[in-house]
Structure 1
């Protein structure tokens, strides 16, 4: 009799443990599909701070209405190349929203993002675009109007480092495209022009926001080569102190977004991560992008901001450089053109 009682107690204990285990699994899964709360991390580049602060509020409302779930988004910002390396080295991002496709490709090559990510969302997974402009102090004392003015003696240029900043890569390629047009593709003259430009660079910050701080807060330099949105934010905060100069040639800068599949699968955040990036293409997301001086990818909504952006600016694009993989290898890989120029 005692032996039977012991067996019954043991059996009940096993059943309780099994039920507890199943209950625990159900709780973990529910956080990704409905009730309660969920957290995701967006690892982004420098100048998107203000945009994603506003966007996260709107997305949280949308997600709450749709699922009843509270979503909290943690933001991380820095130079785009540096941010990509941080993800590869263990900074667990559910999504990345970086300055250029190559930075996301490097995360893919590390095995953290599945192949084909660039086709997962519209417009090559680029929900908004930007371009490169000059920011000068009010009055434009050095009469800076185009790239050719940046190589003049006595002009102090501020731009970030292409080895760590995605925006800096766009800056470099914009200058190269201008010289290419001026010298009809003569690479010796193009290289000489860009070398002269970088000899005039006094501070090479690690990221775009750091370069803005150097120019605006620290008062260094005569001209900042900047993301368009970063220049407009400065103008909004200091309307009487700065001016924007649009060069004759710039570049269509396409920041890219992607789900970090390995992290999202592990955390059970795949559904919310995908919706987070898809909502960037909604009318709400697109208008928020425009209000934060990014160019909406939706042409109709972009046209609503025609009084803000110069929509007739002459822009090359990354395809003119053979795509990002080729451009990065030629210009920014260790020992590439930028290293050759900056060493000189």
Structure 2
């Protein structure tokens, strides 16, 4: 039997007054459950409402409908809610919000004003050891790298012992190489601490590296709340299929398949085969690590990506034969123009 969720969002609705009157609804009927110790992620483009969800959980935005439960207690509902400081929710902001005039130790201790003075120092040392900065207690933020500043912000957020930690685009201020390295490290730190986390990002690679469960969002709703593998292999609709990973939605008839709908083709869905029944023309070829990736224009004009072995990486403009590796995922009906 699975554990009761630590966090439950039940059809929450959040919005802002419009200048001309009425309400601009940003989050509409959004629900999710997050188990204790799990890392969840809301993934979507800018403006889809993902950060607004975090702000509503933290108590910075009121609910128009629905409710938020934490540890079985309703902490927010329409027209009512606990103040932020009583919700046992920690939040790490995009810019880390470190105090430049305070050293690392003082930054981490800042949120511990309610902890007895005698226990404060030990808690700070414990958090700095957890994030690997035990020897940097006396350093100032400007003396640290971006990754180290992120660790200080994480230690400060974890120090009060929140039941839930919210991360708002935690890697947005870092270069891409540092992001990829720190995503795995941050996941290990959070798992070691047993922390339950809900983060938001627009970056799929960050979501895949960090999260146990990912919610793909569009226009204030979660379209699918699932594991990374399920989102990639079993998207529930066209939007998720097109949004997650590399791939193309192609009419079934373009592949010689029966049916009027579209099928999802990932680069690994097709294999090079000179005798293959699917014919195309190479329009671009690039080298990525151990293999080439080609863009192939099919007879119907659709362009798909295919992973190529070196022996099949011919010149641009040459014809190529392809075959399906396995049965592709089908979406009945016609897609958008």
TM range (shorter): under 0.3
**TM-score under structure 1 normalisation?**
0.23
- Larger strand proportion of the pair: 2
**TM-score under structure 2 normalisation?**
0.23
Structure scoring higher RCO (CA < 8 A, sep ≥ 6) equals 1
- Larger helix proportion of the pair: 1
